[in-house]
């Protein structure tokens, strides 16, 4: 490995949400934070150099994304995901979460129903409720240690007020990378019922163990005609603090409706650093990415071994995608309150509680594996002492 992911970088004092705000968000100080989904690793060296060059220029006036940025995205999508996209399909947006909310506004009316598949990234639900739409839940099925989408239940759930489905692909927090068959079945059902798919693919590059991410819109013309894709380089290259994303829709009507909503709230001015970082990451970051994925896989294996030895009641789900492992602690027979009390207050390890992700999250915890092995080992040690 060229990159050293073992030596921890001290992130304290950088106004990091993960490291500097535990008092505000968790009510406690001196925690080991393995919660919010960013990495503790520096981004790849080419990105850092490109940002330094931009910073040294010293003038940070109004900025737009250059065409070379869009070309880098087009090349990346083709090379990494076999998805041929066009410049005209893309809209820049400040982030995936605000974009999802704008999409809910663009494609539905107050009172309409929007489907989510919990346990799932909790801002999906917020984007529906904050816009006075109704949440329609199609919980994932957990069978034989594997999560799948429940298509029969989905068909039954859909009614004449159902307009949208927010898909998490790869799925945070259960770490599934959806197969072609699953996505095709989903598209077929949504198309038949005239439901638009908002496909959040921010974790698209973080796939492990030979899994392959398939952009929903790349499956077929039918899929493209009902899908709006939300993506960014921010998870892949640890750039979330730069606040940027892309919305991609080949369907003119879908894209123009979104553009209209976006224009009402945002003038389209880019962060002066975000396109520089994304372009450089997509042009030069592949070796860094493969190394970071290898390291995360090592952390995952370490987690599985540590729990098998120290807490055999725990079950960790296969990490097909994301760097967030989903742990089933139900066999311990503890309430969510008790689990939180032990992990957060006694072990002083800060994970994301399963119930945050909605139905089916009770008794589970999500752990962020994008940290140094040593940080992970210390956190697991502390957790095993209070749970084992």
Distance CA 137, CA 69 (A): 37
232 binds ligand PLP (CB under 6 A): yes
245 binds ligand PLP (CB under 6 A): yes
Tokens of 105: 């506004």
Give the one residue of 200, 205, 320, 353 binding ligand PLP; rule: CB under 6 A: 200
List b or e across 87-113, with b for residues whose CB sees 16 or more CB atoms inside 10 angstroms.
eebbbbbbbbbbbbbbbbbbbbeeebb
Angle (CA) 34 29 360, round 5°: 40
Give the one residue of 114, 202, 349, 387 binding ligand PLP; rule: CB under 6 A: 202
Q: What is the CA radius of gyration of the chain?
A: 21
DSSP letters for 126-194: HHHHTTTPEEEE-PPEEETTEEE--HHHHHHH--TTEEEEEEESSBTTTTB---HHHHHHHHHHHHHTT
Beta carbon nearer to ligand PLP, 300 or 357: 357
168 binds ligand PLP (CB under 6 A): yes
In the block, tokens 């809910």 appear at 104
Residue with nearest beta carbon to ligand PLP: 95
Total number of residues that touch ligand PLP (CB under 6 A): 13
Tokens of 11: 């992130």
Q: How far is the CB of 55 from ligand PLP (least distance, A)?
A: 22
Beta carbon nearer to ligand PLP, 17 or 377: 17
169 binds ligand PLP (CB under 6 A): no
**Residue 199: which of 208, 211, 209, 190 has the closest Cα?**
190
CA distances from 194 to 163, 165, 256 (A): 7, 11, 18
Q: How far is the CB of 139 from ligand PLP (least distance, A)?
A: 17
What is the H or E stretch that residue 205 is in?
A: none
369 binds ligand PLP (CB under 6 A): no
How far, rounded to the nearest angstrom, does the alpha carbon of residue 77 sit from its chain's CA centroid?
Answer: 17
Q: How far is the CB of 98 from ligand PLP (least distance, A)?
A: 6
Q: How far is the CB of 302 from ligand PLP (least distance, A)?
A: 22
Q: How far is the CB of 66 from ligand PLP (least distance, A)?
A: 21
Distance CA 299, CA 81 (A): 25
Give the one residue of 37, 47, 90, 242 binding ligand PLP; rule: CB under 6 A: 37
Beta carbon nearer to ligand PLP, 93 or 311: 93
Query: Considering only residues 80-119, where is the footprint of ligand PLP by CB under 6 A?
Result: 95-97
Note whether 100 and 165 are within 8 A (CB): no
240 binds ligand PLP (CB under 6 A): yes
Among the listed ranges 103-111, 140-148, 232-240, 328-336, the one in contact with ligand PLP (CB under 6 A) is 232-240
Beta carbon nearer to ligand PLP, 17 or 382: 17
Q: How far is the CB of 202 from ligand PLP (least distance, A)?
A: 4
How far, rounded to the nearest angstrom, does the alpha carbon of residue 3 sit from its chain's CA centroid?
Answer: 24
234 binds ligand PLP (CB under 6 A): yes
What does the binding site for ligand PLP look like in residue numbers (CB under 6 A)?
A: 37, 95-97, 121, 168, 172, 200, 202, 232, 234, 240, 245
């Amino acid at each position: 490995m060229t990159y050293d992911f073992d030596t921890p970088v001290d992130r304290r004092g950088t106004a990091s949400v993960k490291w500097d705000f535990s008092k505000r968000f968790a009510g406690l100080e001196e925690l080991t934070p393995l919660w919010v989904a960013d990495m503790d690793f520096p981004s790849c060296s080419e990105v850092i150099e490109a940002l330094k060059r931009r910073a040294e220029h010293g003038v940070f006036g109004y900025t737009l994304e250059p065409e070379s940025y869009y070309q880098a995205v087009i090349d990346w999508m083709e090379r990494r995901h076999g998805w041929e996209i066009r410049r005209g399909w893309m809209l820049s947006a400040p982030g995936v979460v605000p974009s999802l909310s704008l999409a809910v506004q663009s494609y539905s009316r107050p009172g309409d129903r929007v489907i989510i598949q919990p346990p799932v990234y909790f801002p999906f639900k917020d984007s529906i409720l904050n816009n006075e739409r109704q949440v329609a839940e199609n919980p994932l099925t957990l069978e034989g240690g594997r999560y799948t989408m429940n298509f029969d239940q989905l068909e039954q759930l859909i009614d004449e007020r159902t307009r949208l489905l927010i898909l998490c692909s790869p799925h945070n927090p259960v770490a599934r990378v959806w197969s072609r068959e699953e996505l095709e079945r989903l598209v077929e059902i949504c198309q038949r019922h005239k439901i638009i798919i908002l496909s959040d693919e921010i974790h698209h590059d973080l796939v492990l163990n030979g899994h392959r991410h398939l952009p929903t819109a790349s499956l077929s013309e039918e899929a493209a005609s009902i899908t709006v894709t939300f993506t960014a380089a921010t998870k892949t290259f640890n750039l979330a603090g730069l606040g940027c994303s892309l919305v991609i829709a080949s369907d003119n009507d879908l894209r123009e409706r979104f553009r209209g909503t976006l224009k009402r709230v945002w003038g389209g001015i880019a962060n002066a650093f975000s396109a520089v970082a994304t372009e450089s990451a997509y042009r030069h970051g592949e070796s860094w990415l493969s190394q970071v994925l290898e390291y995360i896989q090592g952390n995952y294996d370490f987690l599985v071994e540590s729990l098998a030895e120290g807490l055999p009641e725990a079950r960790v789900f296969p990490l097909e995608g994301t760097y967030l492992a989903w742990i089933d602690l139900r066999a311990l027979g503890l309430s969510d309150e008790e689990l939180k009390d032990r992990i957060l207050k006694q072990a002083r390890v800060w994970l994301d509680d399963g119930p945050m992700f909605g139905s089916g999250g009770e008794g589970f915890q999500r752990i962020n594996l994008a940290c140094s092995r040593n940080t992970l080992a210390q956190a697991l040690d502390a957790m095993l002492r209070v749970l084992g």
